[in-house]
Amino acid sequence: AAVEIVLDLEHDRGPIDGRLFGSFVEHMGRCVYTGIYEPGHPTADHEGFRGDVAELIDELGITVIRYPGGNFVSGYRWEDGIGPRDLRPHRLDPAWRSIETNQVGTDEFLRWAARRRVEPMLAVNLGTRGIQAAADLVEYCNVPGGTRWSDLRRSNGSADPYGVKLWCLGNEMDGPWQIGHKTAAEYGALAAQAGQAMKLVDPGIELVACGSSHHRMPTFGYWESASLEIAWDVVDYVSMHAYYEELDGDRRSFLASGFEMSEFIDDVAATIDAVAARKHSRTRPRISFDEWNVWYQARFPGTENLEIDTSGPRIEDVYGTLDAVVVGDLLITLLNHADRVAVACLAQLVNVIAPIMTEPNGNAWRQAIFAPFAAVAGSARGVGLVARIRTPEIETNQYGDVPAVAAAATYDAPGRTSSIFVTNRAERPVDAVISMRGEITWTTIQSTSVIIADDKGPLDAAAARHVRQRLPGTRLEGSTITLTLPAESWSAVIVSAA
C-alpha cells in the first residue's frame, strides 16, 4: 500500500523562524583563513573576504552565522582580534593546535556579516575567562559610544554599534575536551552571572546556554536541568549539538539519523518543560540547535596527534549523495520541531565539515550537502504544517524500528505555495499519496527535485553540482499529489495555487 501523508492547512506549528537556516564559522582549520577570508584572492573585497565564497553563501540561503567557535572560543581573548592588524598577537590555539594570527576578529567578522545581511551570533569564552570579558565584549559591540570599549570600537572603524542580539554563553562546557570544562553546577553559576552582567550592559540581547554536546553524553539530561535550575532567569535558548556518521557500514542507522535527532529534541524539550514546571514558570527557553551536520569523526586523527600549524586543514570531509539525503532528512526533523527550535546552524560553513569548499587562490565549490540545504532554506516559508504520515517501519541496529518515510511541509499564505519535503529511508522505492486539506485549490506543481543515495562516494565539484535532479512522474489532481519516492532518497515538491 502507498504511504499516506496528510497535510491540513488549518493544522500548523506556527511560523517557521528564518533563523533555522543558520551556519557556523569557527577559527578552525581553513574555515576563516583561505575560507571566507583570503586577501589577495582575485575575488577578495576591500577587507580581504572572498567574493566567490560570499556568492555561494547567498545562494545557500544562510540567515545567521555563529562565531568564533566552537572549542576555539574557550581559549580566545577577543581583544587580540581588534585594532591595527600588524599589532595583533599570534597565539597558540590549543583546541585545534593551530597558530591563530588574529587577522580576522570581531570587527572584520561583524562588518562582513552585515555586508552579507546575515545575523551574527557571537559566543563568549566561559572556559578560560568569565564575567568581565563577556560583558566587555557586549559593551564593545552594542554600546553606542562614550565608554572605554565602545569608543575603542569607534576608533577601530565602526561608528555605529553592531547591535548583536544572539549570544552564546560558552561552548560545550559539559565536554571533558573543552578548555575550562565545568560541572553543571559550576557552569550554571557562571552562565547566570555572566548572563546577568551582559544583559545589564545591553538588556536587548538574547542568551543561549550550553546544553549537552550530544545525546549520548553521560551527563545528558542532568546537565540541562541542573544548569537551567541556576541560570533560568537569564536563559532564552538552550543549545543542542549533534553530528552523525555511518559507523561500521551500518547504513540503515545512518539513514535514520533524522529519527535520532527528533528523539533528542523531544528529550531536551521535555527537560526544559520539567524545569519550567518545577519553577512554576510560564516561559520556556527555546532551542538553538547551533551545531548539526554529518561529520565522519572516525576518519580524522585525534587533536592531540596534530602538528601545530597556521590554517592547516582540519576535518575537511568530502560528502556524497548518501550524506546529502541524511542532511535533507535532518532538515525535515528541524522543520517538524519549529515550535521548539528557533535557531539552527549547519556546522560549519566553509572547508571544515562544510557545504562550501575552497582552493586557496583558486575556486570555491558546492559540496553534495549544499543541495538539500539550499532547497529548504530557499523555499520553506510561512508556517510549518503538521504532517500526519502512515508509513511502514524499517528496522535499524541503533534505534530499533523507525518510520521508513519522514515528511515536513510549510505553507506560505501570501505566496499561495506549499513546500513539501519527504525522505524515503527504505532500500526500495515507495509510492506516496499526499492529501492537502484546506480551503485552497492547488493548481500547479511548481518544481520537484530528488537526491538519491546512489553510493557514488565523495563527490567532486562537478558531480556535487548535479546531485539534485527532477523527480519524474509526480502528479497533482485536485488536492492530491501522487509520487514515487526512489529508494534511499530525499525529495522536495513545491505546489502553488492560481
Residues that bind ligand AHR (CB under 6 A): 26, 69-71, 171-172, 213, 291, 347-348
Nearer to ligand AHR, 171 or 449 (CB): 171
Nearer to ligand AHR, 72 or 490 (CB): 72
Asked whether the beta carbons of 401 and 393 are under 8 A apart, the reply is yes
Q: Smallest distance from the beta carbon of 88 to ligand AHR, in angstroms? A: 22
Distances (CA, A) of 485 to 288, 376, 377, 424: 31, 18, 22, 6
Nearer to ligand AHR, 38 or 93 (CB): 93
Q: CA angle, 419 as apex, 448 and 13 as ends, to 5°?
A: 155
State the cell numbers at 78.
577577543
CA end-to-end distance (rounded Å), the chain? 32
Exposed, middle or buried by CB within 10 Å (0-12, 13-18, 19+), for 280?
exposed
d(CA 498, CA 496): 7
Q: Smallest distance from the beta carbon of 120 to ligand AHR, in angstroms? A: 17
Where is 131: in which H helix or E strand? helix 131-142
Nearer to ligand AHR, 349 or 375 (CB): 349
Q: Smallest distance from the beta carbon of 498 to ligand AHR, in angstroms? A: 45
State the cell numbers at 58.
547567498
Asked whether the beta carbons of 319 and 293 are under 8 A apart, the reply is no
Asked whether the beta carbons of 153 and 142 are under 8 A apart, the reply is no
Nearer to ligand AHR, 232 or 244 (CB): 244
158 DSSP 8-state letter: -
Q: Smallest distance from the beta carbon of 89 to ligand AHR, in angstroms? A: 22
Residue with the shortest CB distance to ligand AHR:
70
Give Cβ neighbours of residue 238 (< 8 Å, ≥ 6 apart): 208, 209, 211, 224, 228, 268, 272, 285, 286, 287, 288
Q: Smallest distance from the beta carbon of 243 to ligand AHR, in angstroms? A: 7
d(CA 219, CA 186): 14
Distances (CA, A) of 471 to 233, 289, 302, 489: 49, 31, 41, 11
| SS3 letters across 281-315 | CCCCCEEEEEEEEECCHHHCCCHHHCCCECCCCCC
> Strand pairing partners for 22?
345
Q: Smallest distance from the beta carbon of 348 to ligand AHR, in angstroms? A: 5
Q: CA angle, 142 as apex, 141 and 144 as ends, to 5°?
A: 110
Distances (CA, A) of 378 to 369, 381, 487: 14, 8, 25
Q: Smallest distance from the beta carbon of 437 to ligand AHR, in angstroms? A: 41
Nearer to ligand AHR, 122 or 406 (CB): 122
Q: 38, 79, 260, 291: which is the annotated catalytic residue?
A: 291
Residue 263: how many CB atoms within 10 A of its CB? 13
> Does the annotation mark 100 as catalytic?
no
Nearer to ligand AHR, 29 or 320 (CB): 29
Nearer to ligand AHR, 240 or 275 (CB): 240
Q: 38, 172, 206, 260: which is the annotated catalytic residue?
A: 172
Per-residue burial over 37-73, b if 16 or more Cβ lie within 10 Å, else e, is bbeebeebeeebbbebbbebbeebbbbbbbbbbbbbb
Q: Smallest distance from the beta carbon of 209 to ligand AHR, in angstroms? A: 14
Q: Which amino acid is at 300?
A: F
Nearer to ligand AHR, 321 or 348 (CB): 348
> Does the annotation mark 26 as catalytic?
no
Q: Smallest distance from the beta carbon of 62 to ligand AHR, in angstroms? A: 16
Catalytic center residues: 172, 291
